[in-house]
Structure 1
Amino acid sequence: MNLKTLKIIAPERLQQQSVTAVLLALGSNYQAEKHLPRVRESLAALGKIKLSTAFKNPDFTSTVELPKPNYTNQCIYLSLTSPVALEQLQQTFKQFESDCERQRLIETQTAIKQVTMDIDILLIKLSNNKNSLSNENMSEWIMMADRYPFKAHESAGIEELIAGSGTDC
């Protein structure tokens, strides 16, 4: 799969579309060893998941004057058991973040944000397409415009999953 050839569409235009698979970016800079396994378990309840390597990354907004905790990031391929509207899937992921005690209001009020869990949708596959991440048909996957261009760790995780070297769960 060549990411540069995929359609890039704003999520707002896809809210009612049924999705059969997603490629997600997970991130945590606070108690990641607790929250990542919890979210992976919740995601596995929705379908079959495949994991990239978990990467430890500095917060890109960190400065010498205002150091910030590192993030642990991981990409996940989730093949859903049954199709779900993108809007519903986004709400489910927001609930998973809340289940990890994410507090967005407090995050916006502090200079150093403690993010227990962040789940971002990078790519989706609509229900009228085949359900294989490594399929050669480039038009099957859609990139979320609000997440592109991808950060380096997201690109590395996506490439690892596409190459088939991710871990099955």
Structure 2
Amino acid sequence: MNKPVINVCDEFDGREQVRTLVLALGSNHHHERSFELALAKLGELGELDCSDVAASKDFTGKTERVYHNACVLLDAAAPNTVRAWIAATKEIERQCGRGDGQDVAMDIDVLAVQGSDGAWCVHQKRLPFKAHERTGLMQVAAWLI
């Protein structure tokens, strides 16, 4: 089996049509409800492979909050632009109750996208992957590590 091509990108090309994405999900407030809703909404967009949800302390060390994190490989039913995918994830965050406070019902970040050429683009600002991201990636997208 050939190892996929992985590029580190300064920015995602917001106009490129992509169908397969790797997402990082995190919650520190009502995590069970938030994960259930977020995964249901993402499942409406395509086929999901979700890692186990793992609990850990705030990786910044700024708070004592416990975060619940997972990674998702989304193989969408239809391609869309990266810009549109990011907008869709922000809408799912809002539906989960995301606001501007410290209580984060759901945070969804795009870690990587697979371009139409089959190569993967990992956003530079996501590197190095955090420990909780590596844990999830090992289950759903180990080739990115």
Which residue is equivalent to 2:115? 126
Deviation at 1:2, TM superposition (A): 6.9
Answer 1 or 2: which has greater strand percent.
2
**Does residue 65 of structure 2 align to residue 69 of structure 1?**
yes
**Does residue 99 of structure 2 align to residue 103 of structure 1?**
yes
Deviations 1:20-70 (A, max 9, x none): 10011000000001100100000000000001111101002335xxx4220
Which residue is equivalent to 2:103? 114
**Bigger Rg, structure 1 or 2:** 1
Which residue is equivalent to 2:77? 81
Aligned to 1:14, the other structure's residue is in SS state: coil
Deviations 1:51-109 (A, max 9, x none): 1111101002335xxx42200000000001011000011001000011111112xx2xx
State TM-score, norm by structure 2: 0.89
Deviation at 1:162, TM superposition (A): 3.2
Equivalents in 2 of 1:73, 1:2: separation in Å? 26
Equivalents in 2 of 1:128, 1:41: separation in Å? 29
The two structures, once aligned, show a CA RMSD in angstroms of 1.9
Which residue is equivalent to 1:25? 24
Contact kept, 8 Å, 1:75 with 1:158, in 2: the verdict is yes
Structure 1: segments with no counterpart, 5+ residues = 108-112, 130-139, 164-169
Structure 2: segments with no counterpart, 5+ residues = none
Deviation at 1:127, TM superposition (A): 2.8
The count of aligned residue pairs is 141
State TM-score, norm by structure 1: 0.77
